[in-house]
């Protein structure tokens, strides 16, 4: 989704990937940013928090008339129906990020 948004072009791809991973871990309640993830990514959780919030905002306010083929593809069981996962409430996301 970020490939369609010009605002994300200035972000480092590694930071964007790490932020996406942290958001996914938080959304699925699979734990936080571990020391191993910090070591191999080079980013601390605090470095990623602003971008994680922006990514969740992008998921929350995405226009449903764009990227219908992509949304349809990732709504299939073969892709674990990830397009159907609801974004996190911004307050709950903030709590989860500050508590980890």
Give the residue with greater pLDDT, 82 vs 44.
44
As a whole number, the mean pLDDT across the chain is: 89
Give the pLDDT score at 5. 82
- Exposure pattern of 41-67 as b/e (b: 16+ CB <10 Å)? bebebebbbebbbbbbebeeeeeeeeb
Q: Confirm or reject CATH 1.10.472.10 for domain 6-99, answering yes or no.
A: yes
pLDDT digits (tens, 9 = 90+) for 32-77: 899 999 999 999 999 999 999 999 998 888 766 666 787 788 888 9
Domain ranges of the chain: 6-99
In the predicted structure, residue 23 carries a pLDDT above the cut 80: yes
3-state secondary structure 11-36: CCHHHHHHHHHHHHHHHCCCCCCCHH
């Amino acid at each position: 989704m970020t490939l369609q948004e010009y605002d994300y072009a200035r972000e480092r791809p590694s930071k964007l990937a790490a932020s996406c991973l942290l958001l996914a871990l938080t959304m699925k309640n699979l734990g936080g940013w571990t020391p191993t993830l910090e070591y191999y990514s080079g980013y601390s959780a605090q470095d990623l928090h602003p971008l994680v919030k922006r990514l969740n905002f992008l998921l929350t306010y995405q226009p449903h008339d764009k990227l219908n083929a992509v949304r349809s593809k990732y709504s299939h069981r073969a892709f674990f129906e990830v397009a159907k996962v609801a974004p996190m409430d911004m307050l709950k996301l903030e709590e989860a990020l500050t508590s980890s």
